[in-house]
Amino acid sequence: MAPIASDTLASMSLARRDLLIQSGTLISSLAALSVPLFASPRFAKDPFTLGVASGDPTASGIVLWTRLAPDPLNADPLHGGGMDQAAVEVTWRLSEDEKLSKVVKKGKTVATPNLGHSVHVEVEGLRPDRWYWYQFQAGNYTSPIGRTRTMPAAGALAAKLNFAFASCQHWETGWFNAYEHMAQEDLHLVVHLGDYIYEGPERTSGVRKHTGPEITTLTHYRNRHALYKTDAHLQRVHRLFPWIVTWDDHEVDNNYAGDVAEDKQTRAELLERRANAYQAYYENMPLRVSSLPKGSAMQLYRALDFGSLAKFTVLDTRQYRTDQPCGDGNKPACAEVFDPQATILGATQREWLFQTLDRSPARWNVIAQQVLMARLDVAMRAEETFSMDQWSGYEADRRKVLDFLGARKPTNPIVITGDIHTNWVVDLKADWKDEKSAVLGTEFVGTSITSGGDGSDERPNTAAQYQRNPHLKWFNARRGYVRCELTPAHYRADYRIVPFVTKPGAPVETRTSWTVENGRLGVQKT
Ligand code: FE
Ligand code: CA
């Protein structure tokens, strides 16, 4: 059933003129679709069920996001989210105060069916380093008021940056208790390192249920994102802070590598699936139009500056990688691990990373990425064993990155990582086998929001892991997120832990804190 009860049909010529102001990409997509445009629809139900979000801040701009979905889990391809095959005008305003009484920017955009009725407004001309509040309107409904923040001006060395990073939020394995606490934090921004959704089918176990089969179609991926976005705690963290996002594997398919699927899909099948998944990811994240997918390709690696206090280089270690070596899994390193042609970044991204770091004036160079960079013997067998899905499976690329850090010495490199549903604090070493060799940087790995269930402080092989990996400083297998405080003098990581996720209402504690001092490589217990 159509949720739009009555409408004002605007002329397409007028609509195109409005659109011209917003985005050249949307014009062509809407013209190509030739769908009707509703300027003042009457919704029978609130279309803002998925909340609002903002992201990719600069010193002068921000992306504002929402997606119209009055019936968010409606999986009918022609009425996805409860919307029809029509474009809907969405107005927005942005204010200097939370009551929206000092509006400094406003405008119109169009939510189109070909982008799942999502909108991505790129606001420009804002003042640096301050909070703003924003709201959308579509027809007879207004959205919740979101809060967002611009970055400090270029060259400004801010006194402090507070951010939190998170990853891996399997819906079925838990409640988003960690986000309930993240919403209470005093943060400038949030970084998400991937596994925002999981692709698996509905399971019989689990505290919450996926719907339907393993997801492969655009409608499937849209609905899975919508399911996750219905979570009130997740919505709240999106509403309160700008996010910087990147994906890992489960946004498409477990442990896919470039154009190689986990299962028996052909390359063509995987690329079609990847195109669906990437489009739904774009539609559901506060990303710039520069990340709009082109078929099965999407530009996600990018850099963001918090004045001169911090530069985030956000990596994509999935789209460009070669297949996992040695048949994937936890294995002793076979010859393929050392294949000079194998790559986890791809040559283009790797060169971009090196050039970006080489030119960076930032006090802290934060490399935000997916899988464990440090060499880590998982200590599950008598012989050394590594995860072939991590950087330990791609020795040539890791050697190039570590050699770059050693030779070019970008200031205070810090790697932040997700993927493995456990907390790790580890130094990056020039020679892993030589305890006296140079420290090149520090890697903070954050645990999952929910994936893996309640978790534990230790595992049977924890003692062996410490013994076999002297660069490993701390390990923990509880759920939570990592809160980071950066000043010109230090980078401190606070490991925020929730004791359970299989029921709502968990407390939070800072289990441990680790600090890197400016100009002194290597992590220290705070
Ligand atoms: Fe995960
Ligand atoms: Ca993963």
Q: How far is the CA of 23 from the centre of ligand 2 (A)?
A: 33
Q: How far is the CA of 195 from the centre of ligand 1 (A)?
A: 5
d(C-alpha 121, C-alpha 65), whole Å: 7
Q: What's residue 263's pLDDT?
A: 81
Q: How far is the CA of 193 from the centre of ligand 1 (A)?
A: 10
Which ligand lies nearest to the CA atom of residue 166 in the structure? 1
Paired tokens of 59: 């010193």
Q: How far is the CA of 60 from the centre of ligand 2 (A)?
A: 33
**Which residues touch 342 (CB under 8 Å, ≥6 apart)?**
322, 325, 336, 393, 394, 395, 396, 397
d(C-alpha 286, C-alpha 122), whole Å: 9
Q: How far is the CA of 216 from the centre of ligand 2 (A)?
A: 17
Q: How far is the CA of 258 from the centre of ligand 2 (A)?
A: 14
Which ligand lies nearest to the CA atom of residue 372 in the structure? 2
Q: Which residues are 423's β-sheet partners?
A: 476
Q: How far is the CA of 237 from the centre of ligand 1 (A)?
A: 20
Q: How far is the CA of 185 from the centre of ligand 2 (A)?
A: 26
Q: How far is the CA of 82 from the centre of ligand 2 (A)?
A: 31
d(C-alpha 366, C-alpha 189), whole Å: 14
Give, in order, the Cα–Cα distances in Å from 510 to each of 27, 143, 503, 514.
49, 34, 20, 11
Q: What's residue 23's pLDDT?
A: 41
Q: How far is the CA of 242 from the centre of ligand 2 (A)?
A: 23
**Which residues touch 490 (CB under 8 Å, ≥6 apart)?**
515, 516, 517, 518
Q: How far is the CA of 127 from the centre of ligand 1 (A)?
A: 37
Distance of CA 497 to the CA centre of its chain: 20
Mean pLDDT by 10 residues, the chain (526 residues): 36 36 44 78 97 98 98 93 96 98 98 97 98 98 98 98 98 98 98 98 94 96 98 98 98 97 92 98 98 98 98 98 97 98 98 98 98 97 97 98 98 98 98 96 98 97 97 98 99 98 98 98 98
Stated pTM of the model: 0.95
Q: How far is the CA of 248 from the centre of ligand 1 (A)?
A: 8
Q: What's residue 28's pLDDT?
A: 45
Report the sign of the C-alpha dihedral through residues 352, 358, 363, 365, in that order. Answer: positive
